[in-house]
Amino acid sequence: GAGVSQSPSNKVTEKGKDVELRCDPISGHTALYWYRQSLGQGLEFLIYFQGNSAPDKSGLPSDRFSAERTGGSVSTLTIQRTQQEDSAVYLCASSLVSDRGNQPQHFGDGTRLSIL
């Protein structure tokens, strides 16, 4: 079946611009995660959505970052007033509902964001 889909695959923008990254999870997966992968910091958790519960935003690095998930499916990660340190690959993952944290996450191919 279809996997996790992310768009765009690449995004180049100027410093100070806003960007939106989209994630379409696997159908039936109620848990959705965003991670950031950068050379200096490795893979970092950003935000987690589970069903209709309030999202866990504990990994968002600043208030310039926000995310929403509409209708329990598609998610959008927004970065406002981008900075060069935001350059990274942004990965989205989804999984079945996890009441014990033991469900494997399925990852998209990521969006490579470059800030000029």
Rg (CA), the chain: 14
Q: Which of 14, 52 has the CB closer to other proteins?
A: 52
Q: Which of 19, 21, 24, 35 binds other proteins (CB under 8 A)?
A: 35
Report the C-alpha gap between 26 and 102 in whole angstroms: 17
Non-local (6+) Cβ contacts of 105 within 8 A are 31, 33, 93, 94, 95
Closest CA to 95 of 20, 35, 14, 40: 35
Considering the complex, what minimum distance in angstroms separates the CB of residue 16 from other proteins?
Answer: 27
Q: Which of 33, 60, 67, 88 binds other proteins (CB under 8 A)?
A: 33
Determine the interface stretch with other proteins among 13-21, 22-30, 45-53, 75-83 (rule: CB under 8 A).
45-53
Considering the complex, what minimum distance in angstroms separates the CB of residue 109 from other proteins?
Answer: 5
Is residue 93 within the footprint of other proteins (CB under 8 A)? yes
Is residue 109 within the footprint of other proteins (CB under 8 A)? yes
DSSP letter string over 2-27? ---EEE-SEEEE-TT--EEEEEEPPT
Q: Which of 27, 63, 71, 100 binds other proteins (CB under 8 A)?
A: 100
Binding interface with other proteins (CB under 8 A):
4, 6, 31, 33, 35, 42-43, 45, 48, 50, 56, 59, 91, 93, 95, 98-110, 112
